[in-house]
């Protein structure tokens, strides 16, 4: 499956994430217990879940009310308190990663070390409930096993009153947390993206995309925000079934007629080592019936300029063609290790398995593993393949 977090309309916060995950099936009774118990390390909270309608969209609102004692602790104290909780280790580790993102952002904004950051700067008891509640629900639905795609966050605009005075929206901590990620102002003059929500998003998303990719929707959850606007103030999380994936690539190519076979082979290795997704060399007939080779390199956009420079350097070519923004279909891939006993020794062989629509279309052993066995046992690759059939 693929999970798509869609904060394009109304931003993101911890309680909106929790509401959407509850709408997708997270157990509310256990979640309430986890949130209230965890928040108790800083201050008491009461957690309730309510189904409400936001401008025509049914959604779940998670309300976290703070009361009673409110301890202000340093970030380092918070880490110790979370580590002492009776929670799954993965839940604690991911929660701590999220709080570290918030603490690092606050330390940069306020010019303090992590040891000097007070918990009221990282959040309060409701932030502990939101973070640990979101992470617990995420793991309870096994979303950690799925690919998580995030869409750009609507951060709002205007100004907001904080413990540090009136600040522009997005507040400085949000800007720090979202460095390198896509976000957009509006669509209202109000704070839509909280540091807690943004840190959770940044931690669990595997990939950020501008638009929803081709998908077959299986389930959708809506988490409500506390404010009311002229549009539905909800966060949408979509669960989709696997489809044939695609990605965007650049193709680089040039004709070669003046390099030796050794020089072409050397270039081949250099380009792969530099991060080319694939390299191919095809014999061609050029003008004036000259024999030559067509060098074709498949590249991720981030690697394109480096690879082009390497081709110029190692070929002396005067012109290189670049076809940008091409799309290629991708079968889902999985790597599985199998163990074999060959002539008294155990060897691990990694298999690359390809799936389309849930069906296996290919299952091939990795060349390097076969090569290792062949070299150590004095066999041919063909003999090794026969032994592991």
Query: What is the C-alpha separation between 94 and 90, in angstroms, rounded?
Result: 6
Query: What is the C-alpha separation between 41 and 103, in angstroms, rounded?
Result: 17
Residue 191 burial (CB count, 10 A): 23
Q: Please check whether residue 49 is in contact with residue 22, taking contact to mean a CB–CB distance below 8 angstroms.
A: yes
Q: Is the pTM of this model over 0.95?
A: no
Domain boundaries, the chain: 2-241, 247-329, 332-387
Query: What is the C-alpha separation between 148 and 204, in angstroms, rounded?
Result: 7
Same fold, 247-329 and 332-387: no
Q: What residues have CB less than 8 Å from 42, skipping those under 6 apart?
A: 70, 71, 73, 78, 81, 119, 124, 125, 128
Query: Residue written as tokens 């380009």?
Result: 271
Sheet holding 321-330, edge to edge: 278-285, 291-299, 245-256, 321-330
Give the CA angle between residues 187, 197, 147 to the nearest 5°.
100
**What's the pLDDT score for residue 382?**
94
pLDDT tens, N- to C-terminus, the chain (389 residues): 899 999 999 999 999 999 999 999 999 999 999 999 999 998 899 999 999 999 999 999 999 999 876 666 889 999 999 999 999 999 999 999 999 999 999 999 989 888 888 755 455 899 999 999 999 999 999 999 898 999 999 999 999 998 778 999 999 999 999 998 999 999 999 999 999 999 999 999 998 999 998 788 999 999 999 999 999 999 999 999 866 666 778 999 999 999 999 999 999 999 999 999 999 999 999 998 999 999 999 998 889 999 999 999 999 999 999 998 887 777 888 889 999 999 999 999 999 999 887 789 999 999 999 999 999 999 999 999 999 98
**What's the pLDDT score for residue 241?**
80
Closest CA to 102 of 202, 223, 182: 202
Q: Domain 332-387: which topology?
A: Ubiquitin-like (UB roll) (3.10.20)
Q: Domain 247-329: which topology?
A: Alpha-Beta Plaits (3.30.70)
Work out the angle between the directed axes of helices 75-83 and 125-140 (0-180°, nearest 10).
Answer: 40
- List C-alpha distances in Å: 201 to 7, 102, 131, 242, 280: 10, 12, 11, 22, 39
């Amino acid at each position: 499956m693929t999970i798509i977090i869609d904060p394009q309309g109304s931003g993101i916060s911890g309680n909106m994430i929790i509401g959407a995950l509850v709408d997708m099936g997270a157990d509310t009774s256990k979640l309430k217990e986890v949130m209230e118990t965890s928040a108790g390390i800083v201050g008491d909270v009461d957690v309730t879940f309510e189904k409400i309608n936001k401008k025509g969209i049914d959604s779940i609102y998670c309300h976290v009310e703070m009361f009673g004692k409110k301890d202000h602790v340093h970030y380092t104290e918070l880490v110790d308190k979370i580590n002492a909780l009776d929670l799954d280790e993965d839940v604690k580790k991911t929660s701590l990663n999220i709080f570290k993102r918030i603490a690092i952002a606050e330390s940069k904004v306020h010019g303090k070390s992590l040891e000097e950051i007070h918990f009221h700067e990282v959040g309060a008891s409701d932030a502990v409930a939101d973070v640990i509640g979101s992470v617990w629900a995420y793991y309870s639905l096994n979303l950690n096993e799925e690919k998580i795609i995030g869409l750009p966050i609507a951060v709002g605009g205007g100004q907001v009153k904080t413990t540090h005075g009136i600040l522009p929206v997005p507040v400085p901590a949000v800007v720090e947390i979202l460095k390198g990620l896509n976000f957009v102002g509006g669509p209202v003059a109000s704070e839509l993206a909280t540091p807690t929500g943004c840190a959770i998003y940044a931690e669990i998303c595997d990939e950020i995309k501008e638009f929803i990719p081709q998908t077959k929707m299986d389930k959708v959850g809506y988490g409500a925000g506390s404010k009311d606007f002229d549009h539905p103030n909800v966060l949408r999380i979509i669960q989709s079934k696997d489809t044939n994936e695609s990605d965007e690539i650049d193709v680089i190519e040039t004709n070669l007629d003046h390099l030796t076979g050794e020089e072409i082979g050397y270039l081949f290795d250099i380009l792969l080592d530099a991060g080319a997704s694939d390299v191919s060399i095809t014999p061609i007939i050029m003008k004036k019936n000259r024999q030559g080779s067509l060098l074709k390199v498949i590249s991720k956009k981030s690697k394109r300029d480096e690879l082009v420079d390497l081709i110029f350097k190692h070929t002396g070519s005067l012109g290189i063609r670049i076809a940008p923004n091409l799309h290629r279909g991708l079968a889902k891939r999985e790597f599985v290790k199998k163990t074999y006993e060959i002539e008294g020794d155990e060897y691990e062989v990694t298999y690359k398995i390809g799936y389309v629509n849930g069906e296996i279309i290919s299952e091939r052993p990795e060349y390097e593993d076969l090569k290792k066995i062949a070299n150590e046992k004095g066999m041919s690759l063909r003999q090794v393949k026969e032994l592991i059939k």
